Amino acid sequence: MSGSIEAVSTRSRATSARLSRLPRLIRKYALAAVLWIFALGFIAPLVWMVSSSLKRNIDVFTVPMRWIPSPIQWANYAEVWLGDHSMLRYFGNSMLVTSVSVAGDLITSSMAGYAFALLSFRGRNKIFFIYLSTAIVPSQLLLVPRFMFFQQVGLYNTLWALILPGLFTLYGTFLLRQFFIATPTELAEAARLDGATEWQVFWRIYLPLARPMLAALGIIRFVGSWNDYETPLVMLSDDSRYTIPLGLTQFVDGDGGLSAGLAMAASVSSVLPILIVFLIFQRQFVAALAFTGLK
């Protein structure tokens, strides 16, 4: 399947090597062709979203389908960004919530992950076991008491109700603990012998080593926080505090009908930051997902 195996099989059957090379090439390109056709069909809904975001409402549903809009309706974006339900405000709210909670999570998770992996203190394993055993509790079960809590302390309908629970995640703690366990300890031993404090060992030696993992966690959490719909739905009631996913629903009217061009322009706008981050940091993102899947 992979290159090295093909090489082995070619060598082991030397006589048929020259004969089998041609069909193998054909097979390779046939597979590529099938995959590419499948991929184009697969991504078509999102291409259609982009195309429709630049159409007048009456052009969105014309048959046969037009992939290149004409006339191009840039006004959709102007309306979505500056109109009644301004995406500008939703964007600001989302940016604030996402950046503060993700930054907080990176700090608390790396500190705790480091302690759970490399420091020993009484109760460490018991605490970590309690952490892990809450991993499959449904988020909805936690949402009811959190809602009550925020209402009692007067933070209901504020961005704090979204930020505070995001400052700590089991996912981040677990990911960084796994990373630190797999990190060699020699440098730290040397630093400790030279009289470095635990904080210095963590801050100067281990945290820089964890940079790729922190980047990966940051991206995964950015996507998760940016796309979260359930928490704002429960915690916010005021349109001016809405984050992007909740703001998007404003482009659907009461009967479920919607102004198609505007809805698509809003959707494209909501996806763009995520898409840019993903395309730039694709490798770290995939590496982090792979890391969680393999450990």
Partner 1 sequence: MTNVIVKSAPAVVQRRPARSRRIPTRVGWLFIAPNLLGFLAFTLIPLVAGLAIAFTDWNVVSGLGAVHFVGLDNFAELLGDPLFWTSALRTAGYAGISVPGTMLLGLLLGLALNSDVPGRAALRAIFFIPHIVSSIAIGMVWLLLLGPENGPINRILQGLGVSSPPGWLVSEVWGLPSLVLIVTWSGVGYCAVIYVAALQSMPPSLHEAALLDGAGPFARFRTVTWRSLMPTTTFLGVTMLISHSQGFGLIAFLTQGGPGDSTTVLSYYMYEQGFQFYRFGYAAAIGIMSFLGVLVLSVVMWRFQRGRGLYT
Pick out residues in 189-228 that bind partner 1 (CB under 8 A).
189, 192-193, 198, 202, 223, 226-227
Query: What six digits make up the tokens of 166?
Result: 């995001």
Q: How far is the CB of 100 from partner 1 (least distance, A)?
A: 13
Any bridge partners for residue 18, and if so which?
none
Q: If you search the block for the tokens 């012998």, which residue do you land on?
A: 193
- Report DSSP state, residue 91: H
Only one of the segments 73-81, 84-92, 165-173, 210-218 lies at the binding site for partner 1 (rule: CB under 8 A); that segment is 165-173
Window contacting partner 1 (CB under 8 A); options: 15-23, 74-82, 209-217, 273-281: 273-281
Nearer to partner 1, 70 or 282 (CB): 282
Among 205, 215, 271, 281, binds partner 1 (CB under 8 A): 271
Place of tokens 């608390």: 108
Q: Got the DSSP string for 132-166?
A: HHTTTS-HHHHHHHHHHHHHHTT-TTSTHHHHHHH
Phi, psi (deg, nearest 5) at residue 258: -150, 160
Instruction: Select from 80, 102, 175, 244 the one that contacts partner 1 (CB under 8 A).
Output: 244
Question: Could you tell me which stretch among 69-77, 78-86, 205-213, 272-280 binds partner 1 (CB under 8 A)?
Answer: 272-280
The 75-104 site mask, x for binding partner 1 (CB under 8 A), equals ------------------------------
Question: Residue 252: phi, psi to the nearest 5?
Answer: -110, 130
Question: CB 231 → partner 1: shortest distance, Å?
Answer: 11
**Locus of tokens 């590496």:** 287
Q: Which is nearer to partner 1, 75 or 143 (CB)?
A: 143
Q: Which of 14, 22, 63, 68 binds partner 1 (CB under 8 A)?
A: 63
Structure tokens at 162: 């979204």
* Residue in 80, 106, 115, 175 binding partner 1, rule: CB under 8 A: 115
Long-range contacts made by residues 92-96, C-beta under 8 angstroms, separation at least 24? 93/159, 93/241, 93/242, 93/243, 93/244, 94/226, 94/243, 94/244, 96/159, 96/163
Q: Rounded to whole angstroms, how far apart are CA atoms 173 and 223?
A: 17
* Least CB distance to partner 1 at residue 95 (A): 15
Q: Could you tell me which stretch among 69-77, 79-87, 203-211, 264-272 binds partner 1 (CB under 8 A)?
A: 264-272
Residues in a beta bridge with 258: 252
